[in-house]
Chain A
């Protein structure tokens, strides 16, 4: 009897253990990016940041890059940091995409999908607008042209105008 019960508990544990990570939502602390990508990524602590998940095979991601370049030009000097994290499986695809668009912001390859798995993005592309306390304040699932551009500008301006809250003890 005890053995059977143990077996059931193990199976239940396995079933729960194989479920994926919970999606990062508004208000959650964004996972640390530093040390999670192929190239050294800057820390986003203390900065207003946009972390964008993209792939070379995703058409809206191509459309979003020029918009991020414009955003970077307008707000980088005011403290905005843009990190574009690729989920490409083939590094050659990543290299070709970066060579074609020459983004003026940081781009990284999430080799092994470690970060994207933890964040559990709902669609491609998805960008997370993060405040100075590394809290996710806004999430944009998909890229919808000027609508997304305008929202991002408003959100970035709001977060830049905010003073950082003291860190939680």
Chain B
């Protein structure tokens, strides 16, 4: 028994496939390095108590001999 797929359905499936490929590429969802100015703003830092966290980091790194465990650097600019 042979099932015939309608051409319209095949075309719709192809179109959906093409569109989904466009959405899933990394280029489409990635914030470009030169567009990260807003992410790098200190206001984007989720930390509400920077001084307190810095003290806790200092204590933790002294006691545990591990620095940078909470993350280092600023906000989300992605600079390295």
Contact = CB atoms under 8 A, between A and B. Distances in A.
Interface of A: 1, 4-5, 7-8, 11-12, 15, 18-20, 53, 55, 57-61, 87-89, 113, 116-117, 120-126, 141-142
7 contacts: A7-B11, A8-B18, A15-B19, A20-B32, A53-B34, A123-B79, A126-B33
Given A59-B74, A123-B80, A124-B79, A15 B22 contact: yes
Contacts of B21: 15
Contact of B34 (A12, A59, A113): A113
Interface in B19-64: 19, 21-22, 25, 27-28, 32-37, 40-41
Nearest to A16: B22
Name, among B15, B19, B22, B80, the residue most crowded by chain A CB atoms within 10 Å (CB to CB): B80
Interface residues of B, number: 26
A5 B77 CA distance: 43
A18 B7 CA distance: 27
Contact of B18 (A5, A11, A120): A11
A101 B34 CA distance: 21
B60 to A, nearest CB: 23
Interface of B: 7-8, 11, 14-15, 18-19, 21-22, 25, 27-28, 32-37, 40-41, 73-74, 77-80
A70 to B, nearest CB: 21
Contacts of B41: 57
Contacts of B18: 8, 11-12, 15
B28 to A, nearest CB: 8
Contacts of B11: 4-5, 7-8
Nearest to A126: B33
Contacts of B25: 19
A89 B37 contact: yes
Contacts of A141: 80
B15 A11 contact: yes
A50 B32 CA distance: 22
